[in-house]
């Protein structure tokens, strides 16, 4: 099935929109092929500010309507305790909120940006989407991440080469309780490294200790910026170290 055919069969759709590569292209396609579309962006503790800014910019550029829903992911039962299937509980809470808003607005079909490259066996969150009857047109139409990036580039979407960015909760190891303070520290630390010009990295934490995962090609730059990085990150962490096993 082609995306155009999907939207001919489903002309009125609500879209869970994050501002990432996949949901951005899905929203773009829906704007072109569906008759009525509304995007829903969830503003929660797990999303950094730049994701919100990217989402609003993309929506404005393609003329999409976006409703912003503010919820607390940490108040969703099962999330803050951070079990191995945390993503399942989080998706249940977030997509449940989107469904409620979408139905109030008259929508009976909710879509997300899961693509054909996503491994359902490794994603407990996808189980929640199935239980909530959320459709994934990109996956259903066989569009892989690479294909979506190529199509996004052809469409002129600035998100076409946007790096993958997992939610802030993924920086905290399974079993360690997630708090607002830990998420704030992660966002501040990663924002600072972005501002220094680093890319494709993560600042992982464990009980107040930070571990930077960075491609090997950027290690030299990290050493050069060592003093200012330590000065900034030690505002939030007891120790700061480089993960030497991540080469990139």
Query: What is residue 175's predicted lDDT score, i.e. its pLDDT?
Result: 96
Q: How far apart are CA 237 and CA 125, in angstroms?
A: 30
**Domain region containing 217:** 179-242
Of the candidate ranges 15-19, 120-124, 233-237, the one whose mean pLDDT is the lowest: 120-124
**Do 157 and 183 fall into the same domain?**
no
CATH number of the domain enclosing 83: 3.40.50.620
Give residue-wise pLDDT tens across range 189-204. 999 999 999 999 999 9
Contact 46/181 with Cβ under 8 angstroms?
Answer: no
**Do 73 and 192 fall into the same domain?**
no
Distance set, CA 51 to CA 57, 129, 157, 178 (Å): 10, 21, 15, 20
**Do 64 and 101 fall into the same domain?**
yes
Query: Cβ of 222: how many Cβ atoms within 10 Å?
Result: 16
Q: How far apart are CA 19 and CA 248, in angstroms?
A: 25
Q: Is the pLDDT of residue 119 over 80?
A: no
Angle formed at CA 123 by CA 117 and CA 125, multiple of 5 degrees: 115
Query: What is residue 126's predicted lDDT score, i.e. its pLDDT?
Result: 83
Show the tokens assigned to 100: 């409620």
Give residue-wise pLDDT tens across range 133-143. 999 999 999 99
Q: Is residue 238 part of a domain?
A: yes
Query: What is residue 245's predicted lDDT score, i.e. its pLDDT?
Result: 87
**Do 115 and 203 fall into the same domain?**
no
pLDDT more than 70, % of the chain: 98
Q: Is the pLDDT of residue 121 over 70?
A: no
**Do 35 and 148 fall into the same domain?**
yes
Q: Is the pLDDT of residue 34 over 90?
A: yes
Q: Is residue 170 part of a domain?
A: no
Distance of CA 70 to the CA centre of its chain: 15
Q: Is residue 173 part of a domain?
A: no
**Burial profile 170-202: b = 16 or more Cβ within 10 angstroms, e = fewer:** ebbeeeeebeeebbebbbebbebbeeeebeebb
Contact 6/137 with Cβ under 8 angstroms?
Answer: yes
Q: Is residue 124 part of a domain?
A: yes
**Do 211 and 105 fall into the same domain?**
no
Q: Which residue has tokens 């994701």?
A: 51
Structural domains in the chain (count): 2
Confidence bin at 247 (pLDDT 50/70/90): low
Q: Is residue 213 part of a domain?
A: yes
Query: What is residue 101's predicted lDDT score, i.e. its pLDDT?
Result: 98
Q: Is residue 90 part of a domain?
A: yes
Residue 123: φ, ψ to 5°: -130, 95
Rg (CA), the chain: 19
CATH number of the domain enclosing 224: 3.30.70
Q: Is residue 7 part of a domain?
A: yes
Confidence bin at 118 (pLDDT 50/70/90): confident
Residues 6 or more apart whose Cβ sits within 8 Å of residue 38: 14, 15, 65, 66, 67, 102, 105, 107
Q: Is residue 168 part of a domain?
A: no
């Amino acid at each position: 099935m082609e995306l155009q055919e999907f939207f001919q069969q489903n002309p009125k759709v609500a879209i869970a929109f994050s501002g990432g590569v996949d949901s951005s292209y899905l929203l773009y396609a829906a704007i072109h092929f569906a008759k009525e579309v509304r995007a829903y962006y969830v503003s929660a503790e797990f999303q950094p500010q730049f994701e919100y800014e990217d989402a609003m910019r993309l929506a404005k550029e393609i003329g999409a309507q976006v409703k912003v829903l503010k919820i607390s992911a940490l108040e969703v039962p099962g999330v803050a305790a951070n079990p191995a299937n945390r993503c399942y509980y989080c998706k249940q809470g977030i997509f449940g909120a989107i469904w409620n808003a979408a139905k109030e607005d008259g929508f009976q079909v909710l879509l997300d940006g899961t693509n054909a490259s996503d491994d359902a066996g490794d994603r407990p969150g996808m189980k929640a989407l199935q239980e909530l009857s959320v459709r994934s047109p990109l996956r259903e139409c066989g569009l892989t991440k690479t294909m979506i990036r190529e199509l996004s580039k052809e469409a002129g979407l600035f998100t076409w080469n946007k790096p993958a960015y997992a939610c802030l909760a993924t920086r905290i190891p399974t079993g360690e309780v997630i708090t607002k303070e830990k998420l704030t520290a992660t966002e501040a630390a990663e924002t600072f490294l972005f501002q220094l010009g680093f890319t494709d990295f993560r600042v992982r934490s464990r009980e107040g200790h930070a571990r930077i995962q960075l491609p090997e090609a950027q290690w030299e730059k990290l050493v050069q910026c060592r003093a200012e990085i330590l000065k900034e990150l030690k505002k939030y962490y007891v120790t700061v170290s480089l993960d030497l096993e991540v080469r990139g």
